[in-house]
Amino acid sequence: MNTVNKDPAFRLEQLKKSSGYIHGLLKNGDIYNWAWERENIFRSFDLTEFWQDIQEITQQADSCRDLLLCYRRFKQRHVVRIAARELFELDSFTDTTAQLSYLAQVCLQSGMNVLKEHPSWWMDENSDHEQVLEYLSELTVLAMGRLAGYEMDYVSEVSLICLHNLGSRKELSGKKQERQEYLHLFVRYLVGMLHDFEQGERVFPVDLRLRPDDQNGESIPYVHKALNYYQIYGPPRERKYFVKSRPVAGNKRLGEYFLHELQPFVFQVFSDAQIINDIRDRRDNILRQQNYPDKSESYDVRLGKGGLDELEFMVQVFQLLYGGYYKSLQHSNTLTALDKLLEMELISFKQASDLKYAYIFLRRVEHWIQLQVNNQSGRLPESEQGLKRLAWITGFGEGYRDFGQEIKFCTSRVQEICADLLRV
C-alpha cells in the first residue's frame, strides 16, 4: 500500500478500512489509547520491550483466568500496532513476522514464569511447591514451524514439543508418577493460557501433536527416550518437523542439547529411497488439493496449487536433502534458507528471486485475509468488495483484476520452479 498522506486522522481511517477485526479492536478504549493516542503504532518493539510490556500487564492478574485475559489484551493491542505498521509500510515483511513471533514467544515465557511464581493458581495447597519447581527446572519447550523460524502470521498455530530431563533419577514408581502428573498439569495450564477460548477468541491456537511417537508416546517424554525413538524408529516424514525448531521457553539449554543430538537424524548426509518416496507422496498430495482457479476468489493462497504450502515444502525438501552436507542450510527461516540455497548454487538467482517475491506477496495476502475476521483462512474473499480491499492493501489500488492476475502469476511461477527443482 502506498500511503503518501501521513495525516493522523487520514491514517486512522485507512487502518479502520483495512480490516473488520482491527476496526473492532479500535473501538476498545484501552487498545485505542495505547496504540493510537500514545503513538505506539509508530514505534517498533524489540524482544526486550515486548518482555517489559507483558510484565507490566501480568502484574494485574490474580488468577489463571485473569492471566489469560492479560495475554489476550496484550496480543490484541500489539496486533493493532503490527498491522498498522505493515499497512503503512513502516516495517518490512520480515520485521512484521518477527514481531508476531516475539509476541507468541514472550507469552510462553511469561506464562511459565507467572505460573511458577503463583503455584496456588494451579496446584493443590498440600503440594510440595519447592519440589515441583525443581521438576519444572528440567522442562523445556520447543517451538516448531513458523514460530521457530520467526515467521508467524496473525493467527498462526503455535506448534510445541515439551520434553523433560527427569528420567535418569532413581525414584520409587509412585514418585515418578507424581512428578509426571505435575508436569502434565503445568503444561495443561500453560497451554490453556494461550489456547483456551475467552470471549470468542484465543490468544494463539496451540498444537502438541508433533511430539515423538504421537499415537503411542507420552505427551511429555524424557529427552533421552525421545532421542532413542527418533534415532532408532523415527520415520523419514518426521525429519521435516525439525527443519523448523528451536527452544523458546523453560530449560533452553536442555532444548539445545536435544536438537543438537537430533541433527544426524534430521540432516542426513545421504538420501535414500524412503525420503525420495516421501517427497513424491507429499508433493502429489499438495498438488491434488486444488487446481488453478478459473476465478481468483475461489483460491486458497496456502493450500492451492503453487501456494505457500508447496513453496515451503520445496524449500524444506532441499534442506533435508543437502543440510547434512551444508550446515548453513540448517536454518528455520524460509527466506534465509532460500538465500543459502542460492549461495550453495542449488538454485539459480532468478529462481531464488521469484520464490522470495512470491512468498512475501502471498504471505502478505494471507495476513490480510486473516485479519478480516481473525481466523486461519487463506481463501480469497468471494465478494468483489473483499477482493478490492485486498488489492488496495497490497498496492493495486482499485485494480482487483490486476491483483488476481498477480496471484496467478506468483502461483504458476512457484509451481513451475518446484516442478523443475524437485523433478518428481
Strand partners, 245: 144
Q: Tell whether 234 and 353 lie within a shared domain.
A: no
Q: Tell whether 208 and 284 lie within a shared domain.
A: no
| Confidence bin at 52 (pLDDT 50/70/90) | very high
pLDDT at position 128 over 60: yes
Is 2 among the domain residues? no
* Span of 55-59, 139-143, 213-217 with lowest mean pLDDT: 213-217
Q: Tell whether 261 and 309 lie within a shared domain.
A: no
Q: Tell whether 51 and 157 lie within a shared domain.
A: yes
Q: Tell whether 278 and 239 lie within a shared domain.
A: no
Q: How many CA atoms lie within 13 A of 194 on its CB side?
A: 25
Is 121 among the domain residues? yes
Is 81 among the domain residues? yes
Give the three cell numbers for residue 131.
Answer: 519440589
The CATH number covering residue 221 comes to: 3.30.460.10
* CB contact burial 30-51 (16+ within 10 A = b; e otherwise): ebbebbbeeebbeeebeeeebe
- Domain span at residue 327? 273-422
| Cα–Cα distance, 95 to 417 (Å, whole number) | 27
* Span of 236-240, 256-260, 334-338, 387-391 with lowest mean pLDDT: 236-240
Q: Which of 223, 246, 266 is the last residue of a domain?
A: 266
Q: Which of 212, 231, 266 is the last residue of a domain?
A: 266
- Model confidence over 150-202: pLDDT tens digits? 999 999 899 999 999 987 655 545 577 888 889 999 999 999 999 998 888 89
Nearest to 312 by CA among 301, 326, 324: 301
Task: Return mean pLDDT, the chain.
Answer: 88
- The pLDDT of residue 401 is 85
For the beta carbon of residue 245, count every other beta carbon within 10 angstroms.
Answer: 23
pLDDT at position 238 over 80: yes
Q: Which of 214, 234, 266 is the last residue of a domain?
A: 266
| Confidence bin at 294 (pLDDT 50/70/90) | very low
The total number of structural domains in the chain stands at: 2
Contacts of 417 (CB under 8 A, 6+ apart): 314, 347, 351, 354, 355
SS3 (DSSP) at 344: coil
Mean pLDDT along residues 276-302: 64
* Between residues 274 and 86, the one the model is more confident about: 86
- The pLDDT of residue 424 is 52
Mean pLDDT along residues 340-363: 96
The CATH number covering residue 374 comes to: 1.20.120.330
For the beta carbon of residue 421, count every other beta carbon within 10 angstroms.
Answer: 18
- Model confidence over 1-31: pLDDT tens digits? 655 456 778 888 999 999 999 999 999 999 9
Q: Tell whether 228 and 277 lie within a shared domain.
A: no
pLDDT at position 278 over 80: no
